[in-house]
Each structure stands twice: as structure tokens, then as C-alpha cells.
Amino acid sequence: MPKKNESNKENAKKFSRLEKEARKSQEERIAIPTELPTIAMRSNMVIFPNTVVPFYVGREKSLMALEEAMEKTNQLVFVVNQKDPAIEDPKPGDLYKIGTIVRVIQIGKLPDGTFKVLVEGIARAKIVKPIEEKFLKFEIEILRPRYGRSKRLIALMRMVKEELHKYVQYSRKIPPETLMLLEDVDNPDVFADIAASLCPGTIEEKQKLLETIHPAERLEKVLDILARETELLEIEQQLDQKVKERIEKTQREYYLREKLRVIRDELGGEEDLEIKELREKIEKGNYPEQVREKASAELSRLEKMSPYAPEATVVRTYLDWILNLPWFEKTEETVDIEFAERVLNEDHYGLEEPKKRILEYLATRKLSDKAKAPIICFVGPPGVGKTSLAKSIARATNRKFGRMSLGGLRDEAEIRGHRRTYVGAMPGRIIQLIRKLGVKNPVILLDEIDKMGISFQGDPAAALLEVLDPEQNKDFVDHYIELPFDLSDVLFITTANVLYTIPPALRDRMEVIEISSYTDLEKFHIAKRHIIPRIESEFVEQPTKIFKFKDAAIRKIIQEYTLEPGVRELERELRSVVRKATLEFVKTGKTVIIDQEKVTEYLGPSKVREEDVLERDMPGVATGLAWTPNGGTTLYIEASLIPGNGGLIVTGQLGDVMKESVRIALSLAKKMCGEEYAEKFTKYDVHIHVPEGAVPKDGPSAGITITTALISIVKDIPVRKDVAMTGEITLRGRVLPVGGIKEKVIAAYRKGIYNVILPKKNEVDLEKLPEEVRSKMNFIFVETIDEVLEVALNVKRSDKGRGRKARKGDSKTG
């Protein structure tokens, strides 16, 4: 091989020397006429001067031009490229203006009728004008470069030669021996043409090189093209090398693993340590039979895979999940009624109904283990203790506690899990929480169940139907686990602020326990027994007591700085007072006694606005009671007469139902006022406004309040400021029952309004009121609007036969 390579190099040098000598005198030896037949080139090739190349001729006009060249122009022909290779019969306008004069060296006919022509490039030339119609023939002008030999030219030649060597190293398109053509070439013009012919590039780039006359400019363009192509080839080689290394690594690992497997088989079939551990876990673990079969099948698949295969990772993760779920593990449940009652009372003040329901369940469990765990739904305004009550239930029953927030949940897969076919698939959050807790009978709190949404990813509320149904959840199947898991031992507790946003099918599966607003007395005891001790526990390391609350100070904060159904705002205000007291303690070193004066000093003026309470009786303003998700509230409904033509104006962001109540009230007021006041309804517009204007309001329960305000303003009779009312009105003047009585009555009590007008059929709802509220309130139960007006306006009833019933505290009637 070395001798052969040396011989090739010597032959290339000899050829280069002979070619150089031939080129020196070729223009002198060959007389180039000014008119030459022309061949239009449409191949992806540009012929440069000082090069020898073959090409094919097949078109009729090209053959005629070649024939004339052989007969009349001393074998010289002008070769020029087409702008669009698709044109079959090119015209002069379809050709580039600059081409190459070539001398035909050899012609050979091929079997398909075309001719292979070997030509030698002589010189550049430019088309001047066409002179023949049968075939292409042009008058041409030879383009000779004018330049002087300079150091810049020599440097460019060296740089091009180096870049060509790099290109040849990376590319296999040019044999290395071809570069020998440039070794002994000193003529910059000849060098540039040979380099351009070897340079890669598009047909447009090659044509621009041909049209560049000065060799220095031509060499610069060649250098740019070579540098670009060399860089791309270098990047490609690096990528190929990386791919090759990865493939070799994978093949090597596969080979070694297979070899290791064979060695293990020869030594007695010793298993992989990971496979062995998993197999032992499956055999010795406490699993249902179907879980054991599924795990064994997946383990068999894992044994046949390469450990580095992506599918192997998926199988390992799946096995980890199903083998670590608590299929049978439980905590020993405490069924001690006295202990549970003590825990519930220690953690929460009031909340008698929820506590009673939990104790009933525990009593049932004490007598029978077959009792199904109920699905409890605590409904109430924020801050009344729904979440903390669920924690107390877990502590009272000696179960582990887990919390899952459903607020804003829109993906069904969060409940049921993802299929294993998805990348990054995981079980649903129910299964995740159970695995985290490690037992199958925990207390799981599903918080904010009323705030789930629906999206294109499914309805999570529909997925919860199976979870929260005691008849179905014993065989709950997660999409990822694909095995039935028994959820019947889980004590699910859900919380919500409102019920109407929960789908009916889901609401039907739950036992709803309403937790209403706290009274001021309940807030006082909660603050004194729970919140303040919790705040004090944060300062247990202090040798001196930092602060001490007076009872009057706590009551002042409740009554003058908070107006809420729960106790969250109360805790924030108490913490604000404690922070300021702590600062004072650090300065003085003495225990701070927090009394009413200190509360005013720390928190500033009262935050409960005095204008919220009516100062006097006035016509056209009646006090109503409303229910909101945050508890009950008072609602002042204002009526006014404005000069007009009997129109109705309604403001205050009222909903459709409440607007209908306004129209009913107006019709009823016109009927009850009679002919005596008919003129007012025709000469005045009636304006009904319900503050606050920025808060949306709806519902039928303000019917009697609106009617009272209207009759009051028309008859100019003041409405009692110490009377609040709620109830739906009909066109016949009947008063219909409404909801939210407990919250509404507590709102009136909180405002200091102790006379409340209620529909007769709502009398049964008073049993749910705290004794503190019930003992101070005076309830007037009504069936008609006449009875309402008798109390609110102090007017006599039109219906003499009916009597009204008033109830104060637990007394019968009065």
C-alpha cells in the first residue's frame, strides 16, 4: 500500500506539471474567434477555465452547436448555464450572461443517443449578442483579469489551500489526491479557478464565482464557502461521534449483561439482586391474590427487559406503587365514647350537631364492625371550624388524618389517576394520600368540595361519585393501579361554604351537617379557651408572662373590630394586639394587661361603622335579613317617591328573582293602599334601592321588607328601627317561608335588633338557635302582610279574624 500511494502522488505531480505547461501557452496556441456556437447547460455544474470536465449533450440545438464547433471553430464552444434548468428550449434571456469557452477533447456516443463530451476550460467570456436562430450562437467578449501579484494574493492562496485540506478531511466527496493539482500552481488566476471547481456550493454560488473576474475576490468567496461547509461538516462529525458512542455503550452494556446472565445461569441461575428482592417481597408480603398475580406478571416482564430500557423504569415504578399500598394495614380504631366526647369538647366550643353525629357513628361502630363509614359534609361560612373539626374527629377515633384540597380542581385524573401509557403517569391523589398515610382506614378531609370546576380534561365531581359512595368505593379502581382498592374503611369528610354549587348526584351521597355563624358569646369562649392559649404557647420559653387579656377587652374586639361568621378575623385582631403588647413588654419588661383602653390604643377606632345601625324610625326604610356564604347580614331596603308618571326604578345590583319581588311588592302596595293613595302611584315614580350598591343580591326573602318600605313611604308612616324581618310575599299578601333562618337571626342579634318578624312555617327552625340568642330575641310569626304591617308600622290589621303570635325565648305565645 505505501508504494502504491507514492506512485499515485508522483503521477499527480507529473500531471499537474504537464497541465501547467499546457495552460501557459494554450491561449497563445489557440486562436479564439469572437463568434462561437453555444451549449446551454442545465446540470448542477459550472465549468471553470483551467479545468477538464465531462458533461452530456442530448438536445438537438446543443448537438448542432457541438457539430459546428468540431467543423468550423477549431473544436471551441461557448458553454453557459441556464437560469431555470426546467426550460427545455432556452432563449438568450434564459441564460446567464457569463460563461466559459471550452475546447472539446473527446466525444463519445452513449446507447441512449446522448453524447458524453470531455472539455477543457480555456477562458471566461461574456455574451454580446445572438447571431444564429437555428441553434445558440453568440458574439462573445473574452474576460481577462488584470491584477498584480501581491502578498495578499499569496496569503489568500495559502488560506484557501489550508481550508481545502480541512474540507477534504471531513468530506468524502473529494479524494485527497485531487489536492495535488494545487501544489505547483503559482498563477493566482489558475489557482482560483481550480479551487472554485473543487469548492462545494449551490449552482448560484458557483455562477457568482465564475462571474468574479479578479482572482483575489474569487479566492475570498471560495474561502467563505469553504469555512461555512467545513464548520457544518465538523458539527455533523461531532454529532455522529456522539451517536456512535451511545450506540457502542448500549451495545456494550447489552453484551456484558447477556454475558453476565449466561454466567449466572451456569452458576445455578442466580437472579439479579433487584429482581430477587421484588420476588421475595411479592412472596412474603400480605397482598390480595389479584395483586400478587399482577405483580408477578409485571416482574416477569421486567426480567426480560434491559434495565436501561424506558419501559423497565415504568414497570419498576408501577411495582413500587402496588407493593407499597396498605392493602390490609389499619390503625386500631378507638371506640371510647367518653374519650371522643372529651376530645371534641376540648378542641371546639359549641358545634353540638356535628359532635352529636360523630358520637352516634362511634356508638354504632362499638356495637358492630359492619357499620359503613358515613360521608359527612360540613357546610358553613369560612372560619367556623370545619377543617379543625375533621382533625379532631381523627384524634378522637385514633385514626391517621390526611387533607386534600379540591378548590380549583379541574382534571379528573387528579382523582382517578393517569393511564400508564402516558409519560410521567401517577396514581390519583386519593391513592397517593392513602399510601402516604400507610393505612387503609384514615380520616381523609376533602376540602372545598364546592369549588371544583369542569374542563376539557373531565369533571372531577363525577369521578368523586364512586369515591364517596359506600356501595361502590369498596372496589375503587384507579386508572394507574388498575386493581380494585377498598375505600369503604376510609372516613371521608368534606367541607363546603355553599351547597348549590355541588352537583345533585354528589350531594346525594353525603350527609350534610350545617355549621352556622358563631354568636358573640361563642366567639368569646373560643377566643378565651382556644385562640389565646394557642398564641401564649408560642412564648413558652419566656420566664415572665408577656400579656394578659381582660374579658372586657376580648368582648370589645369581638363587638367593635370584627363582623364575621367565623373567628379567623378575630384571631388576626388578637394576634395584632399581642404583637403590640410584645413590643411594649420588650421595652418595659413588665407583663402587659390588655384592657379596653389598650385595645383602642393598639387597634385604633372601632371598625364596625356606626352608620350601619339606624338612629331613628323613618318612613321608607325597612330592615331586612339576608343570607350570604359568609353568614347572615342585615339589609336596609330604601323606598322613595320621585315626581314622575308612575314608573319603577330599581337599583342596588338586584338579581332577577329579587326584581320580581319588587314588582310583586309594588302591585300589592297599590292594592293595600287603595283609592286614597292611588294618585301618588300615578304622579310619582317609585325608586327602590338596596345598599350596598356594589354587592350583588338575589332571592325572594326580601318580599315583605320591600312591601313594608313601599307602604311606609306612600302612607308616610315610619318603620320601626328595632324590627327586622324576612319572608317571601305573594300577590294575595301571603307570607311564605324562607331559608337561612339561623344565620339571619344571629345577624339581627349581632346588630342589637331583638324583634324579628318570621314566616309562621319557619317556627320549627328556631330549635337550631343557640340558647343565648333564643333567650333574648322576640320572634313574631306571621302569615299575612297585614300582620307584618301591624308590628313594623304599628297599624291595625284589615283582617280582624286572624291573630299574630309572638314568641320570646322558649315561651309559647304572647
- Catalytic, 744? Answer yes
- Catalytic, 701? Answer yes
46 assigned to a ligand binding site: no
The CA distance from 582 to 590, in Å, is 10
Choosing from 206, 697, 744, 751, the catalytic residue is 744
CB under 8 Å to 674, separation ≥6 — which residues? none
The CA distance from 409 to 460, in Å, is 7
Strand partners, 592: 547
Position of cell 382556644? 530
The CA distance from 794 to 801, in Å, is 18
383 assigned to a ligand binding site: yes
For residue 694, the Cα-to-chain-centroid distance in whole angstroms is: 31
How many C-beta neighbours within 10 Å does residue 76 have? 21
Contacts 24+ apart (CB under 8 A), 24-28: 26/103, 26/120, 26/122, 27/122, 27/123
380 assigned to a ligand binding site: yes
Q: Tell me the pairing of strands 35-41 and 137-143.
A: antiparallel
Strand partners, 142: 125
The Cβ-side half-sphere exposure at 131, using a 13 Å CA radius, reads 13
The CA distance from 759 to 794, in Å, is 18
285 assigned to a ligand binding site: no
The grid coordinates listed for 812 are 309559647
Phi and psi, residue 757, nearest 5°: -95, 125
Three-class SS of residue 755?
strand
Choosing from 516, 661, 701, 712, the catalytic residue is 701
The CA distance from 507 to 54, in Å, is 88
The grid coordinates listed for 248 are 457502542
The CA distance from 673 to 679, in Å, is 11
The grid coordinates listed for 136 are 445558440
387 assigned to a ligand binding site: yes
382 assigned to a ligand binding site: yes
DSSP state of 518: P
The CA distance from 17 to 184, in Å, is 7
Alpha-carbon distances of 124 from 189, 332, 430, 482, rounded to whole Å: 11, 101, 82, 78
Active site members? 701, 744
Residues in binding site: 380-387
Residues in binding site for ATP: 380-387
